[in-house]
Structure 1
Amino acid sequence: MSNFWHPFGQLYQASHSAVVFDRGEGVYVYDEDGRRYLDGTAALWYANVGHGRTEIAEAIAAQARKLAGYSTFGNFTNRPAEELAGFLSERAPMAHAQIFFVQGGGDAVETATKLARRYHFELGQPERTAIISRVNGYHGTWGFGTSVGGIDANRQGFGDLVPDTYRVPYDDVEAVEAEIVRLGDERVAAVIAEPVIGAGGVYPPPPGYFGALREICDRHGVLLIADSVICGFGRLGSWFGVERFEISPDLVTFAKGVTSGYLPLGGVAIAEHVAAPFAREDSPIFRHGPTYGGHPTCMAAGLANCHILEDEGILERGALLEGELLASLKPAEKFESVLEVRGGVGLLAAVEVAPDLRAKDPGAVDRLAGTVRRNGLITRVLSQGLAFSPPLIVEPTQLEELGQIVVESLREWEATAG
């Protein structure tokens, strides 16, 4: 039995039936027995430039030899942090963005939601603490992220969570405004939304949703937080994902693809007007931040990764290949066990298992994922089905391979279940 307690893993099963990965190369990973798998999830929505990029490994090693780590609290800094902040600020979907570095996506959500409340406090509106999010939204599993999350299973059993958080349907922008009106403009700090809902089921937004959401937030003086942890760094074909919808959020959370997972890193891009109350000579300190924020070795990984995304034209592939990923999975809809295939906005998609089947057999999705894995493809298990988000370097022939494995696995799985 292993002593490693896996995140989002059933303790007994994970410790007795672990799949031990040994190495990665391009869009493939290999286990300790040498078996190759097509990485259909880019590890966990993040290996955007693929596995085994020696340029990133070399940048990490060089920085670790020079200055592996040092605090950036107060006025301490390092050159890689300054360079990456400048790089991201120039490409952010708001002018003159400040970049607040953290360790991952959960930290980024924690930072953005706390900052939204503190921003209103500094404007003399301390009663503006309500955060509105969407059903099916996923915003990590830290305190604020769990509280604003829209996946019920992730919120259960923890007792009282962060108060003053509210959820509305993910596809009804009018419901957002109705909730703001119900609560009162004077109480609402921010709305948080993923450009495309990821872990909650891969739900692209309805046409015009984000443009209307931006107008609603402006009308009521509410900050708009775009949670681009999954959607950024090419997953939707742009740096932060939201550019696709031609809006400028007030805050953008990011992580995952910023280093393609080579080292942990996340952050928040913050619009100039949100930073303004903290930017004066006599402004208060925003008393928040992790020990490893701005960690120089992680910064070096981010810089190397971002240059690869830009210099090799990888950034745009999330949009260029989105139709081919969806088309490769569409044949799965012919199976009785499949409700629908979703995707088409960015290089991410989902195959949803029929609800009646899931109701009769709660372990159905896990068993389907096991069949897919035995056939050489790694998928992400969701409550409704399987998600797919391969590395952005994936080729059309490999997307065809991905779809063929899913279809063959469904055929085998239905035959066995029947």
Structure 2
Amino acid sequence: MSNQHLLTNELTELDKKHFIHPTSSIKEQQENGPAVILKEGHGVYVTDINGKTYIEGMASLWNVNVGYGRKELAQAAKEQMEQLAFSSCFATFSNEPAIRLAAKLAEITPGDLSAVFFTSGGSESNDTAYKLVRHYWKLKGYPNKTKIISRKKAYHGVAIGATSATGIQDFQNMTTALAPEFIHADTFSADSVREIIEREGAENIAAFLAEPIQGAGGVNIPPDGYFQAIRKICDENNILFIADEVITGFGRTGKMFACEHWNVVPDVMLIAKGITSGYIPLGAVVLREKLHRDLIQLSEGTLLHGFTYSGHPTACAVALRNIQIIEEENLVENARLMGEELHKQLKMLQSELPIVGEVRSLGLIGALEIVKNKQTNERFEKKLAPIIIHEARQRGLILRTVTFGDADTIVFSPPLVINKQEIEKMFQILRDSIIAVMNDE
């Protein structure tokens, strides 16, 4: 047995014995070991410990926006670690990278979003926002404004508040005690939101929460006019609008932030993932100027909410360099242009293959549905999307499925540095994989 096989076997056994994987089947891990053990990445490609190379069609978890192997980000982390690796931001202590990043986020986010609370990721950003908006209304003299309207098929994270806001039942089934006062509206129905407000009373509702494009729920893109209607409803009823841009922020959709497609400015924006392209954990909650001003005027004593790593100087230094790369290399525009190519490839698959049903995309985020009958949208008894992406992985392409409820969906979210030839290669592998699975069924 070669040294490489010995290493693979050693790592597999250590993985099975000691590593509980997130969002994975524990039984499958014990039976088969890790699906892939990755070693390195460059651009849109990653390579496993056996030397096999894959196109990362999901940018890992929707987040490696500037691609893999960016030495600039490693250098930014190195320089900051050598200077000041970490310092707490409690009790008004501060550091230059956190200050500079807060100012940069105020510059690039839409409208008058201007004040930033740092977290370690998307779930923390969500739970922070839920606490802050309720605290805000309490300070304003409306202590009963505590309920939050979320949506069906929404995904907001796995902290207890974020899980409760999530509108995918499978995630909620993980716990027996969800946080109260989260109400789920129909996914794209402004009328459903109005009905909830009428039933619950605007005086009891703190905020409406939505991803501009639902990610883990299946890359669900809103119809024209939806978010404009939601913004109007929130304004009329004194309800704050929280936009969860954790997946869609930092160029993913062909705009720096997805809410810009609909010319809507939320009261609170949640960001993470692409802020550092996943090179180091970081998230943030960004507030509009009025909310920040009210908090300054009305607050007394200490804001008793914060994380050890809020304003982490190394993470903030990496984020600043990451945003600089996005701007200097025009990656938002590349996402728009390559998004057109991605959509073209999706439509070609739809026209060529009998089991590819609805396709949808905006910028470099997209999805296709696997169906038995395109006319009726009938599904296969056995879901094929997981089989197809397994076949694709054998052929050198990493993708992800959404199979909650009756969904049988393949989703896409490649790094923003992808080019036309790489998109064509990605879809040729997918095409071959779908045909192979069709022939086996």
Q: TM-score range by the shorter chain?
A: over 0.9
Q: Which amino acid in the other structure matches residue 6 of structure 1?
A: H
Q: Which residue of 1 aligns with 2:5?
A: none
Matched, 1:13 2:28: yes
Alignment partners' CA distance in 1, 2:74 and 2:414: 21
CA RMSD of aligned residues (A): 1.6
Q: Which amino acid in the other structure matches residue 342 of structure 1?
A: R
Matched, 1:340 2:361: no
Correspondence list, 1:205-354, <5 A: 205-280=222-297, 283-333=300-350, 334-343=352-361, 345-354=362-371
Q: CA deviation at 1:96?
A: 5.6
Alignment partners' CA distance in 1, 2:427 and 2:84: 45
- Kindly indicate whether the alpha-carbon contact (under 8 Å) linking 1:277 and 1:283 is maintained by their aligned counterparts in 2: no
Q: Which amino acid in the other structure matches residue 278 of structure 1?
A: L
- Kindly indicate whether the alpha-carbon contact (under 8 Å) linking 1:27 and 1:394 is maintained by their aligned counterparts in 2: yes
- Kindly indicate whether the alpha-carbon contact (under 8 Å) linking 1:256 and 1:265 is maintained by their aligned counterparts in 2: yes
**1:125 to 1:332, Cα distance in 2 relative to 1, 3 A:** same
Matched, 1:161 2:183: no
**1:234 to 1:23, Cα distance in 2 relative to 1, 3 A:** same
**What whole-Å deviation, never above 9, does each CA across 1:61-95 have from its counterpart, x for those lacking one?**
11111111111111111110001011111112132
Secondary structure of the 1:280 match is helix
Correspondence list, 1:29-48, <5 A: 29-48=46-65
**What whole-Å deviation, never above 9, does each CA across 1:294-345 have from its counterpart, x for those lacking one?**
11110111011000001111122222222211111223324343332221x2
Q: CA deviation at 1:292?
A: 0.5
Q: CA deviation at 1:275?
A: 1.9
**What whole-Å deviation, never above 9, does each CA across 1:177-207 have from its counterpart, x for those lacking one?**
2211111111111011111111100011101
Query: Which moved further from structure 2: 375-384 or 19-28?
Result: 375-384
- Kindly indicate whether the alpha-carbon contact (under 8 Å) linking 2:139 and 2:298 is maintained by their aligned counterparts in 1: no
Q: Which amino acid in the other structure matches residue 107 of structure 1?
A: E
Alignment partners' CA distance in 1, 2:82 and 2:258: 34
- Kindly indicate whether the alpha-carbon contact (under 8 Å) linking 2:134 and 2:206 is maintained by their aligned counterparts in 1: yes
Matched, 1:149 2:170: no
**Which residue of 387, 396, 406 maps to 1:376?**
396
Matched, 1:119 2:136: yes
- Kindly indicate whether the alpha-carbon contact (under 8 Å) linking 2:118 and 2:282 is maintained by their aligned counterparts in 1: yes
Q: Which residue of 2 aligns with 1:396?
A: 420
- Kindly indicate whether the alpha-carbon contact (under 8 Å) linking 1:133 and 1:167 is maintained by their aligned counterparts in 2: yes
**1:262 to 1:249, Cα distance in 2 relative to 1, 3 A:** same
Q: CA deviation at 1:105?
A: 0.6
**What whole-Å deviation, never above 9, does each CA across 1:238-263 have from its counterpart, x for those lacking one?**
33221221111100000000000110
- Kindly indicate whether the alpha-carbon contact (under 8 Å) linking 1:27 and 1:51 is maintained by their aligned counterparts in 2: yes
Q: Which residue of 2 aligns with 1:58?
A: 75
Secondary structure of the 2:89 match is coil
Unaligned runs of 5+ in 2: 1-12
**What whole-Å deviation, never above 9, does each CA across 1:374-408 have from its counterpart, x for those lacking one?**
11111022113211000001001111111111111
Unaligned runs of 5+ in 1: none
Secondary structure of the 1:268 match is strand
Secondary structure of the 1:50 match is coil
**Which residue of 119, 138, 142 maps to 1:102?**
119
Query: Which moved further from structure 2: 221-230 or 173-182?
Result: 173-182
Alignment partners' CA distance in 2, 1:74 and 1:204: 42
Secondary structure of the 1:279 match is helix
Matched, 1:360 2:384: no
Alignment partners' CA distance in 2, 1:243 and 1:112: 20
Q: CA deviation at 1:282?
A: 5.6
Matched, 1:131 2:148: yes
Q: Which residue of 1 aligns with 2:9?
A: none
- Kindly indicate whether the alpha-carbon contact (under 8 Å) linking 1:331 and 1:407 is maintained by their aligned counterparts in 2: no
Alignment partners' CA distance in 2, 1:320 and 1:268: 29
Q: CA deviation at 1:237?
A: 2.2
Q: Which amino acid in the other structure matches residue 142 of structure 2?
A: Q
Q: Which amino acid in the other structure matches residue 275 of structure 1?
A: H
**1:59 to 1:140, Cα distance in 2 relative to 1, 3 A:** same
Alignment partners' CA distance in 1, 2:113 and 2:358: 42
- Kindly indicate whether the alpha-carbon contact (under 8 Å) linking 1:332 and 1:351 is maintained by their aligned counterparts in 2: no
Secondary structure of the 1:321 match is helix
Alignment partners' CA distance in 2, 1:52 and 1:390: 15
Alignment partners' CA distance in 2, 1:161 and 1:257: 28
Query: Which moved further from structure 2: 2-11 or 333-342?
Result: 333-342
Q: Which residue of 2 aligns with 1:411?
A: 435
- Kindly indicate whether the alpha-carbon contact (under 8 Å) linking 1:135 and 1:170 is maintained by their aligned counterparts in 2: yes
- Kindly indicate whether the alpha-carbon contact (under 8 Å) linking 1:328 and 1:404 is maintained by their aligned counterparts in 2: no
Alignment partners' CA distance in 2, 1:305 and 1:36: 25
Q: Which amino acid in the other structure matches residue 381 of structure 2?
A: K
- Percentage identity across paired residues of the two chains: 38
Q: Which amino acid in the other structure matches residue 393 of structure 2?
A: R
The count of aligned residue pairs is: 415
Secondary structure of the 1:294 match is coil
Secondary structure of the 1:381 match is strand
- Kindly indicate whether the alpha-carbon contact (under 8 Å) linking 1:329 and 1:406 is maintained by their aligned counterparts in 2: no
TM-score of the two chains, using structure 1 as the length reference = 0.96
Q: Which residue of 1 aligns with 2:6?
A: none
TM-score of the two chains, using structure 2 as the length reference = 0.91
